[in-house]
Each structure stands twice: as structure tokens, then as C-alpha cells.
Amino acid sequence: MQLNSLGFPRIGRRRELKFALEKYWRGESTQAELHEVAKELRRTHWQWQVAAGIEQVPVGDFAFYDQVLTLSATLNAIPDRHRGEGAIDLDTLFRVARGRAPTGTDAPASEMTKYFNTNYHYLVPELKQDQVFSIAYEQFFDEVAEAQALGYQAKPVLLGPVSYLYLAKTVGQDFDKLSLLPNLLKAYADILARFAAQGVTWVQLEEPILALELAADWQAAISEAYQALKTAQVKILLTSYYGSISHHQALVSALPVAGLHLDLVTAPEQLALFANALRPDQILSAGVVNGRNVWAAEVDLIVERIGSVARDLCSQDGSRLWIGTSCSLLHSPVDLEVETTLTPALRQQLAFAKQKLLELANVRQLLLAPESVAAKEIVNTCLARREAKAQAADAKVIARVTALTQADYERVSEFTDRQAVQQRKYRLPLLPTTTIGSFPQTPAIRGLRSRWRKGELSDAQYTEQLQQVTRDTIDRQLKLGIDVLVHGEAERNDMVEYFGEQLEGVGFTKNGWVQSYGSRCVKPPLIYGDVSRPKAMTVEWAEFAQSLTDKPVKGMLTGPVTILHWSFAREDISRDTIATQLALAIRDEVVDLQNAGIGIIQIDEPAFREGLPLKQSEWQAYLDWAVNAFKLSAAGVVDETQIHTHMCYSEFNDTIAAIAAMDADVITIETSRSRMELLNAFEDFEYPNEIGPGVYDIHSPNTPSVEAMVHLIEKAAQKVPVRQLWVNPDCGLKTRTWDEVEPALKNMVDATRELRRRLG
């Protein structure tokens, strides 16, 4: 019975990769030095996995920016604008991802969006009708050789050919992506042949689209792909995750693959179905430990669920069953051992990536030796953990949720009435300008926070210096001529963590980092209990910023759905119940902001679409409670109070009606990387409220020109009536520098003024 690791976090337990990348991008280190950091991280992570009992270490899960981008480079599917004169190299990948690298010519970065229903972002492949795929980048093969040189058995991991096409976008002429499949399969066959020549036995080909409700042509593509690859001289582990694939059981069970991996965390019910259809020569990899959360596995309950099937497969041939994580551990923090300040009660509930490997071994222990002393200790630990959770319930929070009525979810008046009141109060110009919330978190600000946390600055000293930063941020916006200001969020470490630190029932870590994209890492809060807000979280800073100007300053909050999705949420109650508890906490803050004189309040929901179930037939149930959670958070205010929300890196076409149902007075969205393509959703749907499509890609250091932004605003005005439009960047500006931000915002304001002149 093998233990199966589908992939490991690449950033390092102290974010070593992040810091090495950013140092290289700043020109402070060489590419050789960056590679050395990466090599040491891979060596450490492989060593940990082997020590935990993993026989085949995953290779190809490491990426300098994104594994989908690495695959595009391997397949020679790099946009022409990002290519240099020579072969594809690491800087080529950085130009695709960031629009800029230490070498080569700057060019607009490729589109970036969420990977299925996760908070991980991938670089969208751009494919032409005459696309030719061929091996053009050696990273996969180099890392196989690297693992083998260390004495490890390598199992290459890469996205399967059909999922790769599904995630890609077409450029140039409109055409059917599936027309590229035959040529793509030849390249995949060449990749598998290279692996075989290196002595690889198993290759993990991931087809996460199997969790979707696929049209007939995409189902046929799956069959075509694996029939074409069946002659490969390696064994293929067809890997699914993020949901059930039981609706494709007949299709999948007929595929000529040597093994099948199932996500039995999100869909435990599919085990018996596929086990019964398993051929005698196939192995089944059971993904029973959650790769997307931090809670210690209930190993005894896992064994109860899979026990009969596991015993049956083991009685036939123990090698036919593998025990694995549900998906790659990319979505988990790296190592619980570096968390030294957690309370014992919370710590005993947790398992990070390194510890999840040990949980796989515990599952195997209970399956193979259930009467052993070690097995009994494992069971006793699980029982004690569950008992402690049950005793921690907050009766007041539970009662408040139970007492809610429909009136608690609705604004006092319809939008058109509110809009008239708000226009009289704020008297904003045509195409009002604003930003999304955060401004640069400079090294000086991060240094202040670090010194304060270490006790080197008193609370008063820390507050005084951050007030000066806030004054500076307001002054810069006033000089730029922005209409609706923000205070800049200098006091906030992260848009979710900041709130998590101030809510009851929520814990946080010091090193629980996970990768969001590239070098961007987040540290999700831990929602371990019933959630409430003991005191105001943002009012003092909002009041201070508003005291500095007569222009409106937005109160800035993170919405309940996003806090839920970007936290590690408890699993013993439903997610909609957690969202309702969070919504009540945010509602209390919204009302306090209004009472403090803050008239415009933004409740960010960038993760709204991220929570959609992968199967469209299950969407409505999610949308109902997600919309209600937002409305509950916003509905406690008077008509004069203007509620904004923000969403980014989402396809809006499928959820536009639900977004309208949220009834925010203004929504700001990411659209610049797609060149306003995301606004196509507004062609056939008459969006009733006001909207700010982003005209400035904040994830690239490049400064957009006035002409480029004028063009984007004009494109937006073709989709949305101009009097409903706002002008703003795509997202918050915390990751950029002032040298990048100020010229970009100046151009944004100049572009807006130019259009105001044209429109009279």
C-alpha cells in the first residue's frame, strides 16, 4: 500500500522562494543564485516526503511562477510578444507573468485567473489557430534528473492535455480549441517518451476538468487523448480533484490508464462506484487527506469510510491501493513545526503540508494494523479533538443567526431611489475616479509593523507613524485629483488576515503562508469557532482619514464570502452558516462606520465567484447563500450611505444576475488584462447599478499610457452607459511601489479628464 503525494508547496516554510524571486526581479541577485535557492527547496521537500514514507516524489509541482505557465513553456506555447531572440528561458516566463523581466523587452502580461474554485491564480495559455506544440523548455526533465541524482524515484506531475486546452484562450481568429488536440497529443507523447528514457515509471496526468459537467465534445476529447497516449512507455495515473467525477464514471473507467486518483474528501461517495469498475491491472489512489485545509484529519472516520474497499483491494493485491491527499498540497501552509505561538488547543487541531504526509501514514497504520498500540493512540487523539470542538460553541452567535428574518437582508429603498439621494449628497463628476483600497506597503511600513510586533515601538509610537503615512497617502491622492479617496490601509497586513486577527472564533499563524500567484503569498486566518466582532475594527482609521479632507474617503472592509473563502474554515458546520456569522460581524462594522460619518463603504468580495461549485447544476444553491451573506453585511445602512464592492479575476458572464442581486450601489471589477473582454457579460444583461471596470493592471510594473486607458474606458462605454461608469485600477496597489503607482494614477486621471472633455 503506497503513500501518494500529489504535489508539495513550493514557496518554502519561511517563503524562501518569494524572497529569492523578488531579489532577482530587483536585479540584486543572479539567475544562478535564484536557481540555487529553488534547488535547495526541492531537495528539502523531497527529503521530507521520503521520510514520511512517500516512495515516488512528485516532480513538476515546483514552478518559479505557475505550473501551467511552465507547461506552456515546455510546449512552446509562449505569446510572440514575450519571446526574446533566443530560446525560451526563465526570463521569458517572467515576461509572460509580469510583463517584465531582468532581460528582454517589456510587453503586456498574459491574463491571469483563478485555478478552478481555488485562490491560486494561473497564467492563461494563449493559443493561435496555427499553434504548433513542441518541447521547448527543459525544466521538467532537469528536475527528474535532479531527483534521481539524489536517489529518489521521480513521479512527474503535469496538467493533462484536455484540461490544458480547456484552461487556455484563443487569440487571433475565433476557432475551436479542440482542433489543436491532435498536435498537442504528439507533444505530450514526446514528453512521456522523454520521461520513459529517463527511467520514470509513473506519470501523474491531471484532468481536473473531469469534475465539471462536460459537453459531449470535451468528453470525446478525454477519450481521444488517453487512447492516443496508451502506447507510452510509462504508467499514467489519471488524476482528478476538487470534486466528484462519478457523472463521468463510464467514460473514465473505460480509459486505458494504469491508475486513477479520486478526491475522496469532496466526494467520498464515488469510491465504491469506481472501485467496482476497476480493472485487475489498475491501481486506485484514494485521496483521503484534505489538501486544501489545515485541520488535522479525522483518520479514524476516514478508515471507516474506505475500510471495506481498502480491505478488498489489499486482499487482492496490496499494491493496487495507494493512500494520498485529495489534491496537491500547494494550497496548504508548509510546516506546523515553525508555529511556536499557537495555543495548544488550536495547535492540536492543525496539520500543515508536512504533517499531512504523516497523516497518510496514520491512515495506512489503521488499515493494516487496527489493533496495534499505535493505531489505538491515533483513534484516541481523534476522539479527544472532536470532543474539544463540541465544547467550544458560542450560544450567543448561534442564537443571533437563528433570529434573522428576511428584512435583515434588504436595503431600505430600491437602487434608483438610493442613487438619487447619493448623487445629491456627493455631487461626483461624470466618470468618478477612485482606487480599490490599498496603497504601497513600502519597506518602511513593513519595518514599522515588524518593530511594533517585536515591542520595539509602543502602540502610541506605531499609531503616530502610521497616521503620518495616511496623511501622505491622502495628500498624494488630492494632488492627483482622485474623486473618492481611500486611506491606504497602511495598518493592515492583509485584507483578510487583518480582520481575522480581530474576530472571535478566528485564529492566525505566523508562518502559515500559501501561494496565491508568483511571489504573492497570503496567510489565511483559521476559522475554528463561532464568529463574532467584539469591537470596531476599522472605524478609528476611517475617521482619521476623513478628518484630513472634505472629499469622501471610503471605509474599506473585506466581505463575508471572501473572508470565508480565503480562510481555512472549520468543517463541522456548513459554509453558509459560517458566511452568515461573518456577515453579521461585518454588518456591525458597516453600521459603526456609517455612524462615524463615513458615507461610502466598500465591502470587497473578490472571491465571490471562486466559491462556485464546479458543476453548474449546483451553482444556484451556492449563489443564494453567498448573495444573502453580502446583502446581510450591507443592509443595515440608510439610503445616503453608498455601498461599493470589488471583484477581480473572475468570469462574470455566468454570475451576472447574482452579482446584480447583491444590490451594491457600485461594483468595481478587473478587466484590463482581458482588454475589457470581461464586460461582454454586460452586453446581454442590463446591469442596473454603477460599475467601475479596471483600466490599469496593477499586477504589472509597467505604466499604462493615457491613450491606452482612454481606449479601455471608451470600450467600456460601448457596453455600459457612461453615466453608470466609474474609473479605477483593477485591484489594490499594496504590491506596487510609489514610483509605479503615481505615474499610472496620474495617467488614469488624465485619461478620465480627456474623456470628460470629449463628452461635455
Give the catalytic positions in this structure.
Answer: 699
Helices (H), 486-643: 497-500, 539-546, 560-565, 575-595, 619-634
Instruction: Write the Ramachandran bin of 234: left for phi over 0, alpha for psi from -120 to 50, otherwise beta.
Output: beta
Other beta carbons within 10 angstroms of residue 759's beta carbon come to: 11
Question: Measured between alpha carbons, how far is 403 from 755 in angstroms, rounded to an integer?
Answer: 50
Under 8 Å between Cβ of 28 and 7: no
CB burial readout 594-603, b (16+ within 10 A) else e: beeebbbbbb
Cell numbers standing for residue 683 = 452586453
Question: Measured between alpha carbons, how far is 293 from 546 in angstroms, rounded to an integer?
Answer: 39
Please count the residues of the chain.
760
Question: Measured between alpha carbons, how far is 267 from 273 in angstroms, rounded to an integer?
Answer: 11
What lies within 8 Å, CB to CB, of 345 at 6+ separation is: 388
Question: Measured between alpha carbons, how far is 446 from 469 in angstroms, rounded to an integer?
Answer: 12
Question: Measured between alpha carbons, how far is 646 from 670 in angstroms, rounded to an integer?
Answer: 9
DSSP state for residue 738 in the 8-state scheme = H
Within the chain, how many helices (H) and strands (E) appear? Answer: 26, 22
DSSP state for residue 350 in the 8-state scheme = B
Q: At what angle do helices 353-368 and 31-51 cross, to 10 degrees?
A: 20
> What is the maximal distance between C-alpha atoms in the chain?
82
Cell numbers standing for residue 181 = 488536440
Cα dihedral sign, 271-272-273-278: positive
Look at residues 681, 683, 582, 6 and name the one whose alpha carbon lies nearest to residue 286: 6
Under 8 Å between Cβ of 65 and 164: no
Question: Measured between alpha carbons, how far is 360 from 344 in angstroms, rounded to an integer?
Answer: 23
Please name every residue paired with 57 in a beta bridge, in sequence order, or none if there are none: 154
Under 8 Å between Cβ of 181 and 161: yes
Beta-strand ranges (E) seen in 390-539 are 504-507, 514-517, 520-522, 526-532
